[in-house]
Amino acid sequence: MKIAILCAALAVSATSASAEFSLAFTWGDIPLCTNGKSRKVASPQFVVRDVPPGTDTLELRLKDLDRPKFNHGGGKLRISGSGMIPFGTFRYNSPCPPDGAHTYEWTATARSGNRVLATTKARRTYPE
């Protein structure tokens, strides 16, 4: 019984710690695209907060929640600490919904080598 309670307490503690890791972004100056023909563009500006200690790389991936099978790609970069990732750090396949605004979600995965330390997500519509 005591072991189960301790395991549950550790799980809650780990979840609380990873919940602090956060991501925000703005689309920036990407060209307007609404014809369904995505193209390579400069990445948005991201702000990451409370990056887990020991993180050596941050992987960012974009998903269209209205058409999740399309691979928008993303980028993988070295990072230490929290802060801003400037517009244009990597290139990815732009959002380009052919049928009105879609909801897009960036997922940030903090890694130490091959080990995943935490993930967080941020959503926005495009076009806004």
Structural domain tally of the chain?
A: 1
Indicate the pLDDT class of residue 81, thresholds 50, 70 and 90: low
Q: Which residue has the higher pLDDT, 22 or 3?
A: 22
The pLDDT score that the predictor gives to residue 28 is 86
Cβ neighbours, 10 Å, residue 60 = 24
Q: Is residue 27 part of a domain?
A: yes
- Calculate the average pLDDT of the chain: 84
Indicate the pLDDT class of residue 115, thresholds 50, 70 and 90: very high
Indicate the pLDDT class of residue 4, thresholds 50, 70 and 90: very low
Closest alpha carbon to 75 in 104, 51, 45: 45
Beta bridge partners of 86: none
Q: Is residue 4 part of a domain?
A: no
31 Cβ contact list (under 8 Å, min separation 6): 39, 41, 94
Cβ neighbours, 10 Å, residue 49 = 13
| Cβ atoms of 28 and 84 closer than 8 Å | no
pLDDT, tens only, 5-63:
323 333 333 444 444 899 999 998 888 999 999 999 999 999 999 999 989 999 999 99
Q: Is residue 87 part of a domain?
A: yes
CATH number at residue 54: 3.90.280.10
Closest alpha carbon to 107 in 71, 37, 40, 58: 58
Full domain range(s) for residue 99: 20-126
